[in-house]
Amino acid sequence: MMLFTEVRGLPVLAPEPAGSGPLGTVSSLTVDVGSGSVGHVRFRGGRFGRERALPWDAVDTIGPGAVRLRSAAAPGPVPFHHDLLGHRVLVDTGTEHGTVLDVAFDPRTARVLALFTTRGELPAERLLGLGEYALVVRAH
């Protein structure tokens, strides 16, 4: 298990033979709420420091020291994204459940395991949708 806050700021490294230094540093992870998993690794780097994204499939390993890529795939267009960290949480009954402090996920499968909010822990199975205004979760 890893936390989003542990991944943010890690260097993104090219596959093993191409040791030309980091491609950038992780700025955030994009969650696909429908599948309940991390879909993209977003990072900043390169000549102009623009944000770029790679699909989770391009990640070989993710650990406490770095995110190592599986292939030298070129970063694609940055997909639409709402950062879960700091996002308001609403229950489908209309009540508020604080804001997201952190997200636990399995670094091997990219599966989201739990959300940690200012009002406690929520299991990932309760995720319903994510929009500009809030993350919506099932009541139970």
Please give the Cα distance from 48 to 51 (Å, whole number): 9
The H or E element spanning position 5 is helix 4-7
Residue 96 sits in the same domain as residue 63? no
Query: Which structural domain, as residue segments, surrounds residue 63?
Result: 2-69
Residue 7 sits in the same domain as residue 59? yes
Residue 81 within any structural domain of the chain: no
Q: Contact at 8 Å (CB) between 108 and 33? A: no
The pTM is what? 0.87
pLDDT tens across the length of the chain (140 residues): 999 999 999 999 888 765 567 889 999 999 988 899 999 999 988 677 788 888 998 999 998 799 998 876 666 666 667 788 999 999 999 899 999 999 999 999 999 999 999 999 999 999 999 888 899 999 98
Nearest to 82 by CA among 138, 31, 118, 119: 31
Look at the chain and report how many structural domains it folds into.
2
